[in-house]
Structure 1
Amino acid sequence: MKRPKPVKPANRLSSTPPPPSRHSPSLSRASSRTIKISLQSTSPPARLKTRKALAPHFSAPPGEANKNLPSLNGFLASPDFEWTPLNVERSELSLPLTLLTGQTFRWKQTGPSQFTGVVKSHLFSLKQLDNDVGYFLHFSRTNSLVAEKALIDYLNLKISTKEMWAGFVEADSRFAALAPHVAGIRVLRQDPLECLFQFICSSNNNIGRITKMVDHLSSFGSPLGSVGGFDFYEFPSLEELAHVSEERLRNAGFGYRARYIAGTVKALLSKPGGGVEWLSSLRKLELQEATASLCTLPGIGPKVAACVALFSLDQNQAVPVDTHVWQIATRYFLPELEGAKLTSKLCQRVSEAFVSKFGKYAGWAQTVLFVSELPMQQALLPSDLYCKKKSPQRKSSHKKAEG
């Protein structure tokens, strides 16, 4: 299928910006930045052929400011850039419902219906168009073809949700009612190392604070550039993380998670063949074996293991169970368990209930139902679908690896 001609945005990129800061500030409330993000923009999406999109201000990484051609140091896109269409319908990919709802914590909203983030060593902006998604590559340490392949893999676009969702709608009345209002939610295929450390930060935490922790951790990687006032970094390697002490993370506000991060770095570095290779090898295992292997790492419990398995290890039937998912399960699938205390045994029962109802892509169905329960999304649902029960607190007074 021939792609339509992309549209050139009206403004230009800055060619001589200052380099981004190497390290981000601590996680104290005084120094943190408050960002308001809406799940659905009230502005009309740009038309691919007739409307020009506004480009965010871009600053190149150090040493790359005036390089517009491929080089040994990387590929920096020309200031006269275009939105390149991915040819993916909105029903297959909604950017705000996929990138800002707890699967990953590394994307920033840099304009109306526009989001910027890092995929491996590539810095992208994505734009929700009329019935497509466009991308712009700000910077890559390789080339544009490798970067596009990495983006398609990250967005998991080889898996179509059309038939999958049709099966979910047939299997569950609640899903059928929600489907028209949450179309485009999909499960990402993230880098396992990056995903693992993001979800270590998620233990007994909330999305806003997790994002600040992940931003700080990412700042120990190589800078890729600045877009819309945000600095972006390649996620640090194990070797780079090994130079970050537990004390330094505690001083930055990570609390008890600092010990788990430092311990996991050490454990992965000791793996035969390397920690990155060990994590990637878990994609070839059955779900139970993969999650059991993850649980051998410091601070990793069943919930975090299930999140990492689902969002980075191709374990599409993995169902992370926390208090939110527990409420969903007891409200719609297992009402006889309402009021019971959530235990490891009951977590397993909830997972089995999801798999029994939704099959091999149960993790995708759980993700849709989870996102539908988020306060920002609930406010956009029709009143008959809005759950008025009080949302459970993510925080816990027990400083332990809950999962």
Structure 2
Amino acid sequence: MTAGAFSEWRKLPVSLSELCINTTLRCGQSFRWHHVPDTEEWRCVLHGRLLSLKQDHNYLYYRTYISPKPIPSIRPNPVSPEANSAASNDDDYTLSLIKHYLNLSSNLTDLYTYWSSQDPNFKKKAPKFTGIRILRQDAWEALVSFICSSNNNISRISQMVEKLCLHYGPAIASIDGRAYHDFPSPEALTGKDVESRLRGLGFGYRAKYIYRTAVMVATEKEEGWLDSLRNPECPAFGGKSAPAGEMFPEGRQGYRETHEKLLSLQGVGPKVADCVCLMGLGWGESVPVDTHVWQIAQRDYKFGKGSHKSLTKATYDAVGNHFRKLWGKEAGWAHSVLFTADLRSFSDRLVASKTVKVKMDVDVDVKDEEDNDGTKIETSVTTSTVALKRPASVDGVKVEPLDDEWKENVTSTAVIQASQTTTSRRMSKRLRSR
């Protein structure tokens, strides 16, 4: 591959309370962003170009990798005259793409304030998790990524998506020994050997779902079918927004119809459909309920009793409706904040920095010893038993079914008793022998 180079850094005024990329890009929304520790950059290929982002308290910095030969987008969407005009200036196009992808049009501070006023639990957790936005991703990428999420965790999903891109996506750049590919189109995943190759790459039963869904989208659905399911308030890149209808506890009519249509695809159940609705199609009221979110509903919102003892279809709908009533038409955004707060990879943010009083039961034994000059030395041995706090692996809450993501991320605390013995030797008195 012919070498290229990065453009100069440009910056966009964005505070950490409005966007925190270190949280947003690794909380289980998108699975292709690569973190470069040496420079604290995040890199990903979007619309045929490699983008690089980094951030400080006041600015979002961005740049693109410039290839010697321009590489067109693998799935060009119909774009507005405004987007075509921006495309004539590469810097303007990149800025428009970043603003679109990061969904920067909403005032996140105002949304956090509203959710906090409605929900004491959100108010308690939110200060440690500001700046979490729902990305406006490509619908096809979101669909395939969340088919991979079935009984899986974030790390393994990321590995699968990386393999898909490396084996089936267009190569865009190679930097420091790492290859960057765009996401494969539906057509690229319709070959006769795709399913068997994906199984060989470790996709398991998901290989069949990905292949069959690619065939349906590429050959059985009309062109642009997925994007036609988008929330009109959140169009694809380059499109114009339109009203999306009246909001109800169960969501807007367009959301409910979209959710139902997605269920017709291979490997798409209610949770995967909601993930695609929220993160790929812009339906902000969508609340994906997996075993992890179900545990949050039980622990913090008193679900799990009466007719909602297990995560049935009725309970799934009840949890979503409860959160929509509580948080409004962007309930999925608020849900993602609490979901992130419960991930093990972010658990250090919830550790309070405070002085802890420790109750000690002390036994002191005093002995008299005599040294060579006839001086008596009084020695004390102190033994103490201390109550310590230790993390526990599970809190006893029943969830079903228990998937890998739950096993990886569940955290709770429990108090255990530990015995701690301290021995000290000190000279408390010097007694002259007579």
TM-score range, shorter chain: 0.7 to 0.9
> 1:293–1:379: structure 2 CA closer, same or farther, 3 Å change rule?
same
What is the DSSP-based 3-state SS (H/G/I as helix, E as strand, rest coil) of the residue aligned with 1:360? coil
- The amino acid across from 1:95 in the alignment is I
Instruction: Give the aligned partner of residue 96 of structure 1.
Output: 22
Worse-superposed segment, 255-264 or 147-156: 147-156
In the other structure, the counterpart of 1:314 is 282
- Other-structure match for 2:348: 379
4+ residue segments displaced more than 6 Å: 384-389
Residue in 1 that maps onto 2:333: 364
Q: Encode CA deviations 1:4-26: one digit per residue, 9 max, x unaligned.
A: xxxxxxxxxxxxxxxxxxxxxxx
Distance 1:371 1:106 in 2: 18
1:270 is paired with a residue whose SS is helix
CA deviation string 1:221-254 (max 9, x = no partner)? 1111134543211111122122352111101110
Structure richer in strand, relative to its length: 2
Moved more, 356-365 or 227-236: 227-236
Aligned match of 2:183: 235
- 1:224 paired with 2:172, answer yes
Q: Matched residue of 2:51: which SS?
A: strand
SS across alignment from 1:226? strand
Q: What are the equivalent positions in structure 2 for 1:189-338 lying under 5 Å apart? A: 189-219=136-166, 220-243=168-191, 245-274=194-223, 277-283=224-230, 284=232, 286-335=254-303, 337=305
1:231 and 1:379 map into 2 onto residues whose CA distance is: 32
Matched with 1:184 is 131
Q: Give distance in 1, aligned partners of 2:297 and 2:353.
A: 19
Match runs of 1:1-12 below 5 Å = none
Question: How far is 1:349 from its partner?
Answer: 0.4
How far did 1:300 drift?
A: 0.4
* Alignment-mate amino acid for residue 354 of structure 1: F
User: Which letter maps to 1:131?
Assistant: N
> Shift in Å at residue 346 of structure 1?
0.3
Structure 1 residues 127-183: Cα deviation after superposition (integer angstroms, max 9, x where no partner): 012322111111463633323212211111112212111101101111111221111
1:121 corresponds to: 48
Q: Which of the two has higher C-alpha Rg?
A: 2
1:12-27 mapped onto 2 (5 Å cutoff): none
| AA matched with 1:267 | M
Asked whether the 8 Å contact 1:325–1:370 carries over to 2, the reply is: yes
Alpha-carbon distance in 2 for matches of 1:387, 1:394: 21
Post-superposition offset of 1:218 = 1.1
TM-score by length of 2: 0.69
Aligned partner of 1:58 in structure 2 is none
Q: Determine if contact 1:119/1:151 at 8 Å carries over to the other structure.
A: no
TM-score by length of 1: 0.75
Q: SS of the counterpart of 1:379?
A: helix
2: distance between equivalents of 1:262 and 1:349? 33
Sequence identity (%) = 38
| SS across alignment from 1:214 | helix
SS at match of 1:366: helix
In the aligned structure 2, how far is the partner of 1:178 from the partner of 1:337?
Answer: 24
Q: Secondary structure at the match of 2:44?
A: strand
Candidates 66, 80, 103, aligned match of 1:156: 103
CA distance in 1, matches of 2:267, 2:176: 35
Cα distance, 1:88–1:228 mapped onto 2, change above 3 Å: farther
Segment drifting more, 332-341 vs 105-114:
332-341
- CA shift for structure 1 position 376: 1.7
**1:136 aligned residue (39, 46, 63):** 63
Report the alpha carbon displacement of residue 335 of structure 1 after superposing the two structures with TM.
4.0
**In structure 1, distance between residues paired with 2:174 and 2:15:** 29
Cα deviation 1:18-54 (Å, max 9, x = unaligned) = xxxxxxxxxxxxxxxxxxxxxxxxxxxxxxxxxxxxx
Instruction: State whether residues 120 and 191 of structure 1, in contact with CA within 8 Å, keep that contact through their aligned partners in structure 2.
Output: no
Gaps of 5+ in 2: 73-89, 233-252, 355-389, 406-434
Query: Which residue identity does 2:116 align to in structure 1?
Result: V
Q: Which deviations, in whole Å up to 9, do the C-alpha atoms of 1:355-387 show, x marking residues without a partner?
A: 010011100000000000001211221349999
Question: CA–CA distance in 2 between the matches of 1:83 and 1:303?
Answer: 39
CA 1:198–1:387 in structure 2 vs 1: closer, same or farther (change >3 Å)?
farther
Name the CA distance, whole Å, in 1 between partners of 2:302 and 2:47: 40
Deviates more, 1:174-183 or 1:135-144: 135-144
Distance 1:389 1:333, change over 3 A: farther
Deviation of residue 273 (structure 1)? 3.0
* Matched residue, 1:390: 394
1:368 maps to amino acid: V
